[in-house]
């Protein structure tokens, strides 16, 4: 079982491109708090990233930055330039979104002219608590152009992504979403390679052959009635050794981790499906609906039926549709999007879709 792939699927992490923008000084844009992670790619020029509690960070051409916490942050031409909300900034009169004919290689120096070209996007997730992956990452993940250039797969992914955004062809929306997913996986791999043993929680624990196997077994079969003894036997360890190493690397006891995984999975099934409670209980390893109800309420503070009712909401737009519409918008010259008071990612996407629906 590929545990990272399973976490991405279970927590519903999906990426979208929000804008392909060009700006000349003075300029500044603020991205508000959102449930997800922001990412930005400097295609040309340079800019400053400002995240509350962090030192301003200068970004150069070819740099990639990820804000895993979804915290409010700003991009600007200088560290002290005033900023405007993202929606207003996108809709400012006269703004152009050029289509670059020759995609610059990461690591090239600034081309002059004082302008900055950016690709801004985000990763959303479908989870009601801290995201299993993003909660492990630092507040800011910065990949300088030199690091991108040295990472063959990351470099290739960036070039392909820019090509699909700047020169859309049939199938570009599908390729764009796949490349955004790949960008996240390669970025996480690159960051993980720099972490010392015992760091990065369950993600770092995947590098330990025995604990990685135990995590794979849990993620691969939530229906099974796992015990510490069964997991120890499968990993070739004693129960005591497994418990010690698992807690040291993952930060939880094996069955505590399994319980959280089961309840997070159950919560997503309750939000996203109409399966009866008995079916959800069976899917996450409970033969008794009563036992499942008790466990769910203990973890979430609410009974599963009440949780499902409280979580009922309209389905979010499919990201394929969003990426397809955005690419169509870019092809048409990126006409103005009506400014609004929206601050969060879902509202931005909703306004974009509403604008495009006008034809």
pLDDT for 209-252, tens place per residue?
999 999 999 999 999 999 999 999 999 999 999 999 999 999 99
Nearest to 267 by CA among 228, 307, 327: 307
**2-6, 271-275, 328-332: lowest mean pLDDT where?**
328-332
CB burial of residue 230 (10 Å; 0-12, 13-18, 19+): middle
Asked if 151 contacts 48 with a C-beta cutoff of 8 angstroms, the reply is no
Give the pairing of strands 141-143 and 46-50.
unpaired
Mean pLDDT of 264-290: 95
CA dist 62 and 46 (Å) reads: 9
For the CA atoms of 48, 51, 56, 58, what is the dihedral angle to 10 degrees?
-30
What number of CA atoms fall less than 13 Å from residue 293's CA on the CB side?
9
Reported as a pLDDT band with limits 50, 70 and 90, residue 319 is: low
pTM of the model: 0.79
Please give the DSSP secondary-structure letter assigned to residue 300. H
Task: Assign 76 to helix, strand or coil.
Answer: strand
Closest among 37, 90, 95 to 66, alpha carbons compared:
37
Distance (Å, rounded) from C-alpha 265 to C-alpha 286? 13
Peptide bond into 72 cis (omega under 30): no
Q: What is the pLDDT of residue 323?
A: 55
CA 47/CA 70 separation, integer angstroms: 19
Asked if 269 and 278 touch (Cβ cutoff 8 Å), the reply is: no
- Compute, in degrees rounded to 10, the torsion defined by CA atoms 39, 337, 99, 24: -70
Averaged confidence pLDDT in the chain:
83
Q: Per DSSP, what are the bridge partners of residue 76?
A: 28, 48
Q: Residue 42: helix, strand or coil by DSSP?
A: strand
Tell me if residue 32 falls in helix, strand or coil: coil
Rounded to whole angstroms, how far apart are CA atoms 71 and 91? 23
Q: How confident is the model at residue 202 (pLDDT cuts 50, 70, 90)?
A: very high
Q: In DSSP terms, which residues pair with 48 in a beta bridge?
A: 58, 76
Distance CA 9, CA 5 (A): 6
Predicted local confidence at residue 87, as pLDDT: 78
Task: Give which of 61, 97, 87, 56 is closest to 74, Cα–Cα.
Answer: 56
d(CA 124, CA 100): 27
φ, ψ for residue 26 (rounded to 5)? -85, 140
Instruction: Taking residues 124-144, report their average pLDDT.
Output: 90
3-194 CATH pick, 3.40.50.2300, 2.30.30.700, 3.30.70.3270, 2.60.120.280: 2.60.120.280
pLDDT, tens digit (0-9, with 9 covering 90-100), for 136-192: 999 999 999 999 999 999 999 999 999 999 899 999 999 999 999 999 999 999 999
Query: What is the reported pLDDT for 320?
Result: 54
CB 76 within 8 A of CB 149: no
The predicted structure's pLDDT at residue 35? 83
Evaluate whether 61 touches 140 at the Cβ level (below 8 Å). no
Calpha distance 210→45 (Å, rounded) = 46
Q: Binning pLDDT at 50, 70 and 90, where does residue 198 land? A: confident
């Amino acid at each position: 079982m590929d545990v990272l792939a399973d976490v991405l699927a279970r927590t519903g992490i999906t990426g979208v491109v929000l804008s392909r923008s060009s700006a000349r000084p003075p300029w500044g844009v603020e991205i508000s708090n959102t449930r997800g992670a922001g990412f930005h790619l400097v295609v040309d020029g340079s800019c400053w990233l400002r995240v509350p509690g962090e030192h301003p960070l200068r970004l150069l051409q070819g740099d990639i930055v990820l804000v895993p916490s979804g915290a409010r942050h700003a991009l600007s031409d200088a560290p002290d330039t005033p900023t405007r909300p993202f929606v207003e900034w996108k809709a400012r009169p006269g703004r152009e979104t050029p289509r670059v004919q020759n995609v610059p290689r990461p690591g090239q120096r600034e081309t002059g002219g004082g302008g900055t070209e950016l690709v801004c996007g985000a990763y959303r997730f479908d989870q009601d608590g801290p995201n299993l992956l993003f909660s492990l990452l630092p507040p800011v993940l910065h990949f300088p152009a030199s690091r991108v250039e040295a990472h063959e797969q990351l470099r290739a992914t960036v070039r392909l992504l820019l090509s699909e955004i700047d020169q859309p062809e049939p199938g570009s929306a599908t390729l764009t979403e796949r490349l955004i997913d790949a960008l996240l996986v390669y970025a996480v791999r690159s960051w993980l390679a720099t972490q010392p043993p015992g760091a990065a929680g369950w993600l770092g624990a995947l590098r330990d052959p025995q604990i990685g196997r135990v995590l794979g077994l849990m993620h691969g079969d939530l229906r099974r009635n796992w015990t510490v003894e069964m997991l120890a036997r499968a990993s070739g360890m004693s129960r005591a050794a497994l418990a010690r190493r698992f807690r040291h690397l993952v930060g939880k006891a094996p069955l505590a981790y399994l319980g959280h995984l089961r309840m997070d999975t159950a919560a997503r099934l309750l939000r996203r499906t109409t399966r009866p409670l008995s079916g959800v209980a069976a899917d996450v390893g409970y033969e008794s609906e009563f036992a499942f109800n008790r466990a769910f309420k203990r973890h979430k503070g609410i009974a599963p039926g009440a949780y499902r009712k409280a979580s009922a909401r309209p389905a979010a737009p499919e990201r394929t549709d969003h990426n397809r519409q955005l690419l169509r918008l870019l092809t048409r010259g990126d006409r103005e999007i009506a400014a609004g008071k929206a601050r969060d990612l879902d509202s931005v996407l909703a306004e974009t879709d509403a604008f495009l629906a006008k034809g």
